Amino acid sequence: MNENTSDAKTVFSPEDDLLFNSSRLLLFFEAFNNLKPLDGIDRERLCYYDFFASNPFIITKREDPLWLQLEMEGLDPCKLEYLSTAQRYRTKRESIKQYLALLVAKALISVQNEDGRILYQITQLGVETSHKITSMYAVTYRKSVQYIIRALEKYKDSELWENASKWLEAKSFQIDLYNTVEEKDE
């Protein structure tokens, strides 16, 4: 059986890879630890922080000096993924359980129950491992994490949820196919 190789193209996105996402999350914990060394972070807040650090242009204003800095370091404010932020956030939120489980299993982060809240924190092994990740993306992501933490830490959980709901609002970028077909028939 002859298979046409052009029809069998596989598109790979690093954001779909378990190792990439777990490593990025480890970078997050390192940056978080540098700003708040004694605090852990719960999964809900972690989901928001990580998502917005990966997609900082959702909440960064163009006049903010960080915008230009992140853009010059390779992050693209015009990528198509920004048009489906709500769906992407929901998918990331579900997947983060798997990334956390891997990091806990490798003893790179620890879990503690503090007054009924499950908090995650980087371990010394996690810090040492994270320091070995030195790609340009890692450098840029660490800066983005620091910015996002400073920007969002002032919000109580309910305020963060309300603002995140606004920021994640789906952008209007849909083509009405029915109207297009009807116009051609007329």
pLDDT digit string (tens) for 14-62?
556 788 889 999 999 999 999 987 789 999 999 999 999 988 888 877 7
What is d(CA 43, CA 40) in angstroms, rounded to the nearest whole number? 10
The phi and psi torsions of 113 (rounded to 5 degrees) equal -100, 115
Output the pTM of the full model: 0.75
Give the pLDDT of residue 156.
94
pLDDT digit string (tens) for 94-128?
889 999 999 999 999 999 999 889 999 999 999 99
What is d(CA 133, CA 131) in angstroms, rounded to the nearest whole number? 5
Percent of the chain residues past pLDDT 90, beyond the cut: 40
* pLDDT confidence bin for 76, thresholds 50/70/90: low
Of 129, 127, 109, 128, the C-alpha closest to 119 is: 109
- Six token digits for residue 134: 């030195």
Residue the block writes with tokens 């480890």: 26
- Six token digits for residue 51: 């998502």
Helix (H) or strand (E) segment spanning residue 114: strand 109-114
CB neighbour list of residue 84: distance below 8 Å, 6 or more residues apart: 170, 171
Of 156, 167, 153, 145, the C-alpha closest to 61 is: 167
Please answer whether residues 67 and 77 qualify as being in contact, where contact means their C-beta atoms are separated by less than 8 angstroms.
yes
For the chain, count helices (H), then strands (E): 8, 2
Angle between helices 157-167 and 43-54 (to 10 degrees): 30
